[in-house]
Amino acid sequence: MRKEANIFVAGHDGLAGSAIVRRLTREGYRSLLRRTSFELDLRNPRAVADFFQRNRIDYVFLSSGDEGGSFSDGLNPADQIRDNLLIQTNVIDAAYRFGVKKLLFLASECVYPKTAPEPVKEEALMTGPLEPADEARAIAKIAGIRMCQAYNRQYGARFIAAVPASLYGPNDEFEVGRSGVLQSFIRRFHEAKVRQDPWVTMHGTGLPRREYLHADDMADACLFLMNRYEESDIINIGAGQNGSVAELAFEVSQAVGYGGDIRFDTSKPDMATRKRLDASKLESLGWQPQIPLKDGLAGTYEWFSQHYAHATVSR
């Protein structure tokens, strides 16, 4: 991509989109187009078409869409599938109709079957049933992947799709019960530290394993792919490391500075296991993640402290 190219980052104010904006800015890209949902409703096809027609966009990073955890997905499945489908359809179609040179669609590891062998290879897509709690968002994301591939076949577009591991980092959501596991852990341990609670009780056994990718590593991979990847086949962006929920809870408690005990209530169900991705395809092209979990958690908690520390601590 030329440094003076017009680049639209859809979802620039979310976890993934804001990381992509930071990465592009550091690399010296000078013409980044950003619109909030109030300025541009991506669910509105006419508004999206008008925006693309006016701005002569060269490249698109499509990271817009709800990034919530499984719990939030289960609460609003209709919103999940409707909004994601509308946004994807409008942006991908406008990108084709108004001559965008290349588009990167950011999917989610929820697109893979619940029982896919780990580490999950790209070929596992649509080979089995999805995780029920994630199904609405997963179906929408799969449709986005297939739409990119269809436009490539029928119209000769250059639309690529990447599947990142579960993300964390600055500009995330940290509402307990509505965000991802890592994010809710940060808030819970922070509040326990403020209240000086002697212990924090977690649901389940702590045994399910999860993989987490720092948003800045994801953004670096997206820029790498936009410049070097031309295949229609999806490609995984993995963190190269995973651990149990119990190990994650310990790491988060250390980052937060909580000194109490961590207990597990085994009478409660375990959280859904997130899939560990096989990122060998991307690694073979020359990309590797750079941010260790410990460092990523420290930076994420610093951001949380600056933006959420004022929040009321419940008792």
295 annotated to bind ligand: no
214 annotated to bind ligand: no
- What is the reported pLDDT for 312? 45
Q: What percent of the chain has pLDDT over 70?
A: 93
Residue entry with tokens 């409703």: 41
Q: What is the pTM of this model?
A: 0.94
Domains with residue ranges and CATH for the chain: 6-168+211-237 (3.40.50.720), 181-209+241-274+292-308 (3.90.25.10)
In angstroms, the Cα distances linking 102 to 95, 145, 157 are 8, 14, 7
15 annotated to bind ligand: yes
- What is the reported pLDDT for 313? 53
What is the C-alpha to C-alpha distance for residues 210 and 87, in angstroms, rounded to an integer?
28
Q: Which residues contact 229 (CB under 8 A, 6 or more apart)?
A: 160, 235, 285
Instruction: Map residue 257 onto helix, strand or coil.
Output: coil
16 annotated to bind ligand: yes
DSSP labels for 116-180?
--SSBPGGGTTSSPPPGGGHHHHHHHHHHHHHHHHHHHHH---EEEEEEPEEE-TT----TTTS-
225 annotated to bind ligand: no
Cis ω before 119 (30° cut-off from 0):
yes
Q: How many CB atoms lie within 10 A of CB 305?
A: 13
The angle that helices 215-228 and 15-26 make with each other, rounded to 10 degrees, is 60
- What is the reported pLDDT for 262? 97
What is the C-alpha to C-alpha distance for residues 291 and 192, in angstroms, rounded to an integer?
27
Whether the per-residue pLDDT at 85 is higher than 70: the answer is: yes
146 annotated to bind ligand: no
13 annotated to bind ligand: yes
For 128-154, what is each residue's pLDDT tens digit?
999 998 999 999 999 999 999 999 999
What is the C-alpha to C-alpha distance for residues 217 and 237, in angstroms, rounded to an integer?
9
Report the mean per-residue pLDDT for the chain. 92
- What is the reported pLDDT for 133? 87
240 annotated to bind ligand: no
What is the C-alpha to C-alpha distance for residues 197 and 278, in angstroms, rounded to an integer?
39
- What is the reported pLDDT for 240? 78
**Residue burial 97-108, b: 16+ Cβ < 10 Å; e: rest:** ebebbbbbbbbb
Q: How many helices (H) and strands (E) does the chain have?
A: 10, 11
What is the C-alpha to C-alpha distance for residues 148 and 18, in angstroms, rounded to an integer?
23
141 annotated to bind ligand: yes
- What is the reported pLDDT for 66? 54
Whether the per-residue pLDDT at 314 is higher than 70: the answer is: no
Residue entry with tokens 């999917």: 107
